Structure 1
Amino acid sequence: MTAPDTLTPVLTATWADERSWTLDSYTASGGYEGLRRALTMSPDDVIAEVKDSGLRGRGGAGFPTGMKWGFIPQDNPKPKYLVVNADESEPGTCKDVPLMMASPHTLVEGVIISCFAIRAHTAFIYIRGEVLHVVRRVQAAVAEAYAAGHLGRDIHGSGFDLDVVVHAGAGAYICGEETALLEGLEGRRGQPRLRPPFPAVAGLYASPTVINNVESIASVPSIVRHGAAWFASMGTEKSKGFGIFSLSGHVTRPGQYEAPLGITLRELIGLAGGIREGHELKFWTPGGSSTPLLTAEHLDLPLDFEGMAAAGTMLGTRAIQLFDETTCVVRAVLRWTQFYKHESCGKCTPCREGTWWLVQTLAALERGQGSEADLDLLLDQCDNILGRSFCALGDGATSPITSSIRFFREEYLAHLTHGGCPFDAARSTAWAGQEALA
């Protein structure tokens, strides 16, 4: 089993502290020291520090955070904005919500430093509306920060002004897409925008805008406080630092495991007490359901951006869903596809119509109807969506289908042979045997 010191608790270090979400608790553990150091630096030096750290976006895409900040045109006379994407809704992803609940001031401090760096005087934290308890927790932290002088006018005598608005979304998966999120912030229906222009040039209210994930912004205070070299000393050559890995499903101790990028799933499963007793791993998602799934053959691959790309998948949000041999992969993929069909905003035809047809074909196969040719039909449908939809939702909807057919084609065919899900038949036999013994 992996040694406990494999973990690198930074963002999660204080989650178990008494009333960890309060300003007093956060300050006692060194909170806002990063802000005080940042205010002694120039904005460009803060951007350089984040660039040198190698921090890459923790929301899924992995784009270098400091580079994104550097794209903001400072000669543009319009206001600059920071928007935090806290619309966490990818199936399996559950890291930002506990972070905001347990340590909201980590995010607030990161927002202040990031705004100072890009010279923004207004920031928005866009939180998924269903998690009302999180909205209230972050609002309370923002109020505490104002009262302590960390927000408002002339922060700590630096001459820097900043206001932070906590915005509750209306509950739409599509608003996790950054331009659809901007549409929602501006009071319109959440649908993605055509790019270019990119948000860095014309984002919120047609002004230069940086959009970052919660974990990306929450990582900034520790980088500024401890230095770029400290952060870059963890992780791999091209995937620097640490990240929160969310383990859910058929594992003994599901939860959040903060570790250096490049750790393997075998190591993480060891930390989580192994797959549930008496069972073995069948398949898993490295970064939520929109990333191509992998199997037990991939247990020793490094969980970093390059390692996952080499395996034909993505690190994504590091939402690792683990499924043992009792799970029907066809049914799991069908459930995910039904989600994407439901959440399609309807703006483009490939996604709006394509996800509907994917569900029809998959549902028939799951019931044992159709023929082997329907697998090729599924792949053709995916091919007509991938790269042709307006945003990445359509692409993500194809990932579990194409990857599951790649690794589990025989299981799809077994549904046709049995005239339905063979796992249902196995469960019925097992249940009948238990009844007979009773």
Structure 2
Amino acid sequence: MTDTLTPVLTDDWDAERSWTLETYESRGGYGALTKALTMPPADIITAVKDSGLRGRGGAGFPTGMKWSFIPQDNPKPKYLVVNADESEPGTCKDIPLMMATPHTLVEGVIISSFAIRANHAFIYIRGEVLHVIRRVQAAVAEAYAAGHLGKNIHGSGYDLDVVVHAGAGAYICGEETALLEGLEGRRGQPRLRPPFPAVAGLYASPTVINNVESIASVPSIIANGASWFASMGTEKSKGFGIFSLSGHVTTPGQYEAPLGITLRELIDLAGGIRHGHELKFWTPGGSSTPLLTAEHLDVPLDFEGVAGVGSMLGTRAIQLFDETTCVVRAVLRWTEFYKHESCGKCTPCREGTWWLVQTLASLERGQGTEADLDLLLDQCDNILGRSFCALGDGATSPISSSIGYFRDEYLAHLTHGGCPFDATASTAWAGALTGAAS
């Protein structure tokens, strides 16, 4: 089963002082940069296109295609922005990557910037993770000292400056245009599109915005070839990815595997669901993706496979919950998070998430009637597709999907006048309810 893993980005995480330039270069680091600087920038973009690399931040848009949208005839400067504002509940892959091997990201930034002809790049990191900010800043400083950054990199005539920017800690800044607003010193709120960032992004100039894992994958593609990367994964979802397993699993952590692996395989690699329990529900890509259940254990974890069962691969933040978890309470906690993090710019999200919390909280306390479930779905319907950005859509996903799979559990709260999973409920009853819902 361990042959299923494909350690590439995580391969050096266990090396001694893996975060230092010395260790990174001793294991072949910056070799891809040397190769890339001998290639025409257009050939690098073609290689990334041919590899099939799709955005690892959740949307899954083809990375090379995004790069090709940059208008090279535009006289304004071009910018690369790395979205390292990892804040989706359950997502924890970019932060360990930047902590363990920040030079993987830095090398990817240099190659990617060279490809789109950018002379300035920004790494936007969530402000709360100060230890990560310091580590990436140290790696950037080492890269400057070694001649990998700055003027005339490796004698190629190419100049690049990289700025590590600490965000203010807002979930909304994971949305790429809100991130740009934050970089420019304004309140983090999404922009109206068009124009899209490729045409008018940072400082109204052509800008590419990519996730940490997307950019960190570029050096391995250049070093090993597009066909090497494309040989992994599935027909339409190429390559490998870091799957973050958390919750009720024996060995939570990061598992780097080809796209298309199943949750059953990942759980086996992680030692199974915790002893004496069984899987009840899970999120394939963080809390903003529709829930799935044990019946989806064998769904291929690629963009098409997960979409085929009504959810999203997202950031591959797999949160696993066993039969002891109240789905209503879990969904309420997530919804409270989205209400708190709404930037307030648009009415459907600002008002809608508040009302979602009110209705869910009443149901969780066992108050109301069955008609409130239809009210809840109606509230979701009035938010979905009507908010300014995807935050509103994400807030509705766990609600509508949980009602679809666990309607009986919602009704049980009304029957028992509160959460049946509290200490007053019997274990046998909770087990029977879980069986009925599945």
Q: Same fold (TM over 0.5)?
A: yes
Compute the displacement of 1:428 (Å): 7.4
The one-letter code sitting in structure 1 at the alignment partner of 2:208 is V
User: Percent same amino acid at aligned positions?
Assistant: 88
- 1 CA distance for matches of 2:145 and 2:224? 26
What value does the CA root-mean-square deviation take over the aligned residues? 0.8
The one-letter code sitting in structure 2 at the alignment partner of 1:96 is D
- The answer to whether residue 385 in structure 2 is matched with residue 401 in structure 1 is no
Match of 1:297 among 279, 295, 298: 295
- 2 CA distance for matches of 1:25 and 1:175? 33
- 2 CA distance for matches of 1:129 and 1:159? 34
Specify the alignment match of 1:34 in structure 2.
32
- The answer to whether residue 361 in structure 2 is matched with residue 360 in structure 1 is no
- 1 CA distance for matches of 2:365 and 2:86? 32
Compute the displacement of 1:429 (Å): 7.6
Compute the displacement of 1:20 (Å): 0.1
Compute the displacement of 1:4 (Å): 0.6
- The answer to whether residue 414 in structure 2 is matched with residue 416 in structure 1 is yes
Give the alignment's TM-score, normalised by structure 1.
0.97
Q: Name the SS for the 2:64 alignment partner.
A: helix
- 1 CA distance for matches of 2:410 and 2:151? 62
Compute the displacement of 1:427 (Å): 5.6
Specify the alignment match of 1:372 in structure 2.
370
- 2 CA distance for matches of 1:286 and 1:95? 14
What number of residue pairs does the alignment pair up?
428
Match of 2:95 among 71, 94, 97: 97
The one-letter code sitting in structure 1 at the alignment partner of 2:308 is A
Specify the alignment match of 2:119 in structure 1.
121
Give the alignment's TM-score, normalised by structure 2.
0.97
**1:256–1:429 CA distance, 2 compared to 1 (3 A):** closer
The one-letter code sitting in structure 1 at the alignment partner of 2:44 is V
Q: Name the SS for the 2:8 alignment partner.
A: coil
- 2 CA distance for matches of 1:425 and 1:170? 39
Q: Name the SS for the 1:412 alignment partner.
A: helix
- 2 CA distance for matches of 1:11 and 1:339? 30
The one-letter code sitting in structure 1 at the alignment partner of 2:59 is A
Q: Name the SS for the 1:423 alignment partner.
A: coil
The one-letter code sitting in structure 1 at the alignment partner of 2:347 is T
Specify the alignment match of 2:7 in structure 1.
9
Deviations 1:407-434 (A, max 9, x none): 000000000000000000456789xxxx
Specify the alignment match of 1:142 in structure 2.
140
Q: Name the SS for the 1:283 alignment partner.
A: strand
- The answer to whether residue 345 in structure 2 is matched with residue 347 in structure 1 is yes
Matched ranges for 1:72-111 at <5 A: 72-111=70-109
Specify the alignment match of 2:265 in structure 1.
267
Compute the displacement of 1:335 (Å): 0.1
Q: Name the SS for the 1:424 alignment partner.
A: coil
Q: Name the SS for the 2:104 alignment partner.
A: helix
Specify the alignment match of 2:206 in structure 1.
208
Matched ranges for 1:200-239 at <5 A: 200-239=198-237
- 1 CA distance for matches of 2:322 and 2:34? 48
Deviations 1:181-206 (A, max 9, x none): 00000000000000000000000000
- 2 CA distance for matches of 1:113 and 1:259? 24
Compute the displacement of 1:214 (Å): 0.1
Specify the alignment match of 2:326 in structure 1.
328
- 2 CA distance for matches of 1:172 and 1:370? 34
The one-letter code sitting in structure 1 at the alignment partner of 2:101 is S
Specify the alignment match of 1:436 in structure 2.
none
- The answer to whether residue 337 in structure 2 is matched with residue 315 in structure 1 is no
- 2 CA distance for matches of 1:24 and 1:426? 58
- 2 CA distance for matches of 1:121 and 1:386? 39
- 2 CA distance for matches of 1:286 and 1:107? 25
Compute the displacement of 1:82 (Å): 0.2
- 2 CA distance for matches of 1:395 and 1:69? 27
- 2 CA distance for matches of 1:143 and 1:352? 41
Compute the displacement of 1:290 (Å): 0.2
Specify the alignment match of 2:436 in structure 1.
none
Deviations 1:153-200 (A, max 9, x none): 000010000000000000000000000000000000000000000000
Q: Which runs of 5+ in 1 are unaligned?
A: 431-438
The one-letter code sitting in structure 1 at the alignment partner of 2:162 is V
- 2 CA distance for matches of 1:321 and 1:28? 36
Match of 1:389 among 372, 387, 399: 387
- 1 CA distance for matches of 2:371 and 2:131? 48
**1:417–1:112 CA distance, 2 compared to 1 (3 A):** same
Q: Which runs of 5+ in 2 are unaligned?
A: 429-438
Specify the alignment match of 1:288 in structure 2.
286
Specify the alignment match of 1:69 in structure 2.
67
- 2 CA distance for matches of 1:25 and 1:360? 52
